Structure 1
Amino acid sequence: MFALGATMLLLVASEIVATRPQADKILSLPGISTMPAFEMYSGYLEVAAQKALHYWFVECEDPASQNLIIWFNGGPGCSSMEGLFTENGPYRFGEHRELYPNPSSWNTLGHILYLESPVGVGFSYGPEHDEINDDTTAQDAMKAIKVFFHKFSELGQADIFVTGESYAGFYVPILVSLIFKEPEVSHISSRIKGVMIGNPLLNQNKNVESLVYYSYYHGLFGKEKWLELISQCCKCEEEALAGDCKFRDTKSEGCLITFIHIVHSIYTSGLNLYNMYQDCTPPNSIMSMQFHRESTETALLRMIWKKYFREDKFDLAKLFTTNNNLGLSPPCSNTSTIHWYLNRQDVQDAIHVRSKEWEICSQPINDNFVKEYEDVKDFMLDILQKRDVPVLLYFGDMDLACNHLGGEWWMDDLGIPITFSRRRWYLPKPDGPSQIGGAVKVYNRLTFALVKGAGHMVPTDQPEAALYILKRFLSDEPL
């Protein structure tokens, strides 16, 4: 019986391998002396003629796993290779640019599909002059996922968890809502079991207005400036303390001017905007603030400054300069290693991509991306109420780009009843007692989780906590 069973298992395994795109299989990878037991694939998912998204698929350490995690980085315009190599993938870069196993890799819990989205980001390609917006990004991602399941048909019955970070707060809800509405991908929508996003942008107004409160509470500007702000923007201090002041939508010129001065002082302070308690690396990015993702409200700042101030008094462009060697890079982040690695010809050959200059973030995409929505409320309610799919939004507590205060405000305003009040959650430690991991609050099928000691990239700053949150979520268990 045992011999027969082993033979059958070998046959099943060989059939699974045969259904996968062998031309995309990564046979060797520079920086790794011995390839891991789990398989990795890289290639393209065509969504139209001369238009494709690059994917990197990492098999779970347990090849029989029925969990498929789809991951998107944000921007808009930043590559999911950042997530693969610096956050939750199976390998991290060492001090000497070597690759070493990541013990907190998410592929310990499921298969992972990394998509470089939208078209034009990273190794993905398409027509240069096509408009790229929230809807086209979702449509292309949906088509790419459909092609993925054609290539990896044995995963057709896997439980799908759509995840991401930052501007994926828009990417993911819009995509998942679209998948649920398209009959041609009903075989995919029926398998979606959860949505999980880290430090998501959810509402443009709440993100920038909450930044003022968050910054004041953390001592980034003083009481004198705070009192000046609320005298210009609020009816009374009680309204300010309740979080009801409107800074971005105000019609008061004085309020706008004071608000701009505060935002400007935060963004040019030299703080690491993605983790305000960590130093800037490299140092020369401190004042240049090379690329500040969605939360900089670039268009808003330019518009207000141009309207109320002389152009020669404040050169806002200095906040958004690029590095000649690395292209568009997140502020205070050292992206030189991943840039060096993915631009090696032997690496590009190994992962079966078109030879090109890879950049972590695409300036043309970021400059020209059309943000069609101010808020993802309708998409999220469609997922939560019409589809009954659980959603978990987690926030590092030291992030200035998409701060947790604005995220919690947004969740409170959805009108979903709170089923579990805010409380602490605890992270198990293998070598001692559990420690406080952060805070959690549950609104029916929607969960807010705060992660202690993390910034914008929680899997980078607190990898054990991120993995634990994922583990609980995949099992549909509360923190």
Structure 2
Amino acid sequence: MNFVVVKATAIFLILALTVVEPKPVPDARKKRSNTEKLINSLASQDLVTNLPGQPAVDFRHYAGYVTVNETNGRALFYWFYEAATNPDLKPLVLWLNGGPGCSSVGYGATQEIGPFIVETDGHGLRFNNYSWNKEANMLFLESPVGVGFSYSNTTTDYDNLGDAFTANDAYAFLHKWFLKFPSYRTRTFYIAGESYAGKYVPELAELINDKNTDPSLHIDLKGVLLGNPETSDAEDWRGIVDYAWSHAVISDETHKVIRENCDFDGDTWSNKICAQAVDEVLKQYKEIDIYSLYTSICIGDTASSNDGSMQVMMMKHTSTMMPRIMGGYDPCLDDYSRKFYNRADVQKALHVSNGPQLKNWSICSTKIFHEWVDSKPSVLPIYKKLIAAGMRIWVYSGDTDGRVPVLSTRYSISALGLPITKAWTPWYHQKQVSGWFQEYKGLTFATFRGAGHAVPCFKPSNSLALFTSFLLGESLPSAR
């Protein structure tokens, strides 16, 4: 029995101990104390202490596995950073990257918003001065199984991966993770993510909201934060096409053919004229970085590799499903991450490796990407449900992303038909216009001027400022 199974079994036993309240006998307090010590010891086993190249920090961080299905042996890998200051007073935020098939550890944690960024040689880490753990306790999850270090011992699980499967496993993960970290069980909680996590995040939020009717399962979810999110297939496709045309990526003629022949609300790809015209859009985007229109492409190993990086996993339109979306912006960063996470000493420090055998880590899985079996055509109905439940919903968009462009998000929000409570206006950071924002009844939408798909890679200080405003529930600064 490997260490993952041993720890998972221990968690199961702890659940039994914590659910059934001991009878009031003289040593009951002592029994509870022993149980708490056992729980805390489970968390301490995941404490990261010797991560190669890590800058010195004053906060603790943990990495390891949570088994979400004992029968099939499904285990999800997480990396958790306590807040840099006053962790007991700050909320818990779960971050998810999309794909589907891409790693929240490889992207979010060590390219975008975590305290450590992988160095360009793949051999070390540098400190991120704009880490979101300045404002919250940050939990990064590699989900579903097959992503990064997450795995299943049952091969048929990989044939059933989809939105519902992912949401259910993420929900199970949270409850079992709280057994390792019981002090966060009643903590104010938010979910954030980007790209295809535009579907993951609302779907998980809806599941939590529905299950919260049972007090024993209650999670104090207050809101969601979504960056360049895939939201509604029809609106997303219209935005991709219109953005490519308005930014001179495609010709007037190609745009006209698509507008006249593509029914994005219906059976889009059965129309061959439409399909050929969309192919022309994708062809032109292959010449540049679709995730960042105005930056250089990476000329190196990653640009031509088959490791599942986003440059390899270009969108398709041969399915009625909306093509899936990767996270990240610089394909060279993908290469640095792959080198770092496939080191034996790194895997050992993160409690991944089992003996001398390395696990093969990739930043994205092409198999998951191509074989995804369940994708909601739109999560706008979930938005409406969450708004009705009183949850805070913020959506932001880097305005130089061609993959989930600002137009796609604007079209999707417009489809909600929400009343405007604060009209379109600039927001400022360090006395400069950072972007524009508009507030609706139940939703805030903001843009980042000059940022691509993974906004924190382009605007780290600005994105931290928006994150802070989101947590406080305050409007973005509209004066210099």
TM class by shorter chain equals 0.7 to 0.9
Q: Partner amino acid for 1:65? A: L
The TM-score normalised by the length of structure 1 is 0.81
What's the offset of the Cα at 1:159?
Answer: 0.9
Mapping 1:410-421, distance limit 5 Å: 410-421=412-423
Q: Which residue of 1 aligns with 2:298?
A: 281
SS in 1 for 2:53: coil
Q: Partner amino acid for 2:94? A: I
- Percent sequence identity over matched residues? 32
Q: Which residue of 1 aligns with 2:80?
A: 57
Which residue, 53, 64, 68 being the options, matches 1:47?
68
Q: CA offsets per residue over residues 443-464 of structure 1, 9 Å max, x none? A: 1121111111110100111111
SS in 1 for 2:435: strand
Instruction: State the alpha-carbon separation in 2 of the partners of residues 294 and 372 from structure 1.
Output: 21
SS in 2 for 1:256: helix
| Contact kept in structure 2, 1:273 and 1:332, CA below 8 Å | no
The alpha-carbon distance between structure 1 residues 333 and 33, as it changes in their structure 2 partners (threshold 3 A), is closer
| Contact kept in structure 1, 2:245 and 2:251, CA below 8 Å | yes
Which residue, 174, 185, 192 being the options, matches 2:203?
174
Q: Which residue of 2 aligns with 1:426?
A: 428
Which residue, 271, 290, 307 being the options, matches 2:288?
271
What's the offset of the Cα at 1:288?
Answer: 8.2
What's the offset of the Cα at 1:248?
Answer: 6.8
Q: Which residue of 2 aligns with 1:99?
A: 125
The alpha-carbon distance between structure 1 residues 185 and 195, as it changes in their structure 2 partners (threshold 3 A), is farther
| Contact kept in structure 2, 1:80 and 1:116, CA below 8 Å | yes
What's the offset of the Cα at 1:189?
Answer: 4.5
Q: Which residue of 2 aligns with 1:365?
A: 368
| Contact kept in structure 1, 2:242 and 2:255, CA below 8 Å | no
| Contact kept in structure 2, 1:228 and 1:258, CA below 8 Å | no
CA RMSD of aligned residues (A): 3.0
Instruction: State the alpha-carbon separation in 2 of the partners of residues 470 and 343 from structure 1.
Output: 31
The alpha-carbon distance between structure 1 residues 413 and 119, as it changes in their structure 2 partners (threshold 3 A), is same
Q: Which residue of 1 aligns with 2:444?
A: 447
The alpha-carbon distance between structure 1 residues 102 and 15, as it changes in their structure 2 partners (threshold 3 A), is farther
| Contact kept in structure 1, 2:420 and 2:441, CA below 8 Å | yes
Q: Partner amino acid for 1:163? A: A
Instruction: State the alpha-carbon separation in 1 of the partners of residues 432 and 264 from structure 2.
Output: 38
The alpha-carbon distance between structure 1 residues 145 and 277, as it changes in their structure 2 partners (threshold 3 A), is same
Q: Which residue of 2 aligns with 1:200?
A: 229
Instruction: State the alpha-carbon separation in 1 of the partners of residues 457 and 217 from structure 2.
Output: 30
The alpha-carbon distance between structure 1 residues 288 and 265, as it changes in their structure 2 partners (threshold 3 A), is farther
SS in 2 for 1:120: coil
SS in 1 for 2:89: coil
Instruction: State the alpha-carbon separation in 1 of the partners of residues 463 and 42 from structure 2.
Output: 30
Structure 1 residue 28 corresponds to structure 2 residue 50: yes
Structure 1 residue 341 corresponds to structure 2 residue 351: no
| Contact kept in structure 2, 1:206 and 1:406, CA below 8 Å | yes
Unpaired segments ≥5 residues, structure 2 = 1-35
The alpha-carbon distance between structure 1 residues 175 and 227, as it changes in their structure 2 partners (threshold 3 A), is closer
Structure 1 residue 477 corresponds to structure 2 residue 449: no
Mapping 1:123-272, distance limit 5 Å: 123-126=149-152, 127-130=154-157, 131-183=160-212, 186=215, 189-230=218-259, 232-233=260-261, 246=264, 249=267, 253=271, 255-257=273-275, 259-268=277-286, 270-272=287-289
SS in 2 for 1:114: strand
SS in 1 for 2:165: helix
Mapping 1:304-315, distance limit 5 Å: none
The alpha-carbon distance between structure 1 residues 462 and 272, as it changes in their structure 2 partners (threshold 3 A), is same
The alpha-carbon distance between structure 1 residues 136 and 112, as it changes in their structure 2 partners (threshold 3 A), is same
The alpha-carbon distance between structure 1 residues 339 and 61, as it changes in their structure 2 partners (threshold 3 A), is same
Instruction: State the alpha-carbon separation in 1 of the partners of residues 327 and 390 from structure 2.
Output: 37
Instruction: State the alpha-carbon separation in 2 of the partners of residues 85 and 185 from structure 1.
Output: 36
| Contact kept in structure 1, 2:250 and 2:281, CA below 8 Å | no
Q: Which residue of 2 aligns with 1:466?
A: 463
Which residue, 77, 92, 110 being the options, matches 1:68?
92
SS in 2 for 1:47: strand
What's the offset of the Cα at 1:278?
Answer: 0.8
Q: Partner amino acid for 1:405? A: L
Q: Partner amino acid for 1:165? A: E
SS in 2 for 1:64: helix
Instruction: State the alpha-carbon separation in 2 of the partners of residues 363 and 420 from structure 1.
Output: 42
| Contact kept in structure 2, 1:202 and 1:375, CA below 8 Å | yes
Unpaired segments ≥5 residues, structure 1 = 1-13, 235-244, 305-318, 321-327
Instruction: State the alpha-carbon separation in 2 of the partners of residues 344 and 285 from structure 1.
Output: 18
Instruction: State the alpha-carbon separation in 1 of the partners of residues 377 and 370 from structure 2.
Output: 17
SS in 2 for 1:391: strand
SS in 2 for 1:21: helix
| Contact kept in structure 2, 1:198 and 1:394, CA below 8 Å | yes
| Contact kept in structure 2, 1:329 and 1:360, CA below 8 Å | no
Q: Which residue of 2 aligns with 1:4?
A: none
Q: Which residue of 2 aligns with 1:120?
A: 146
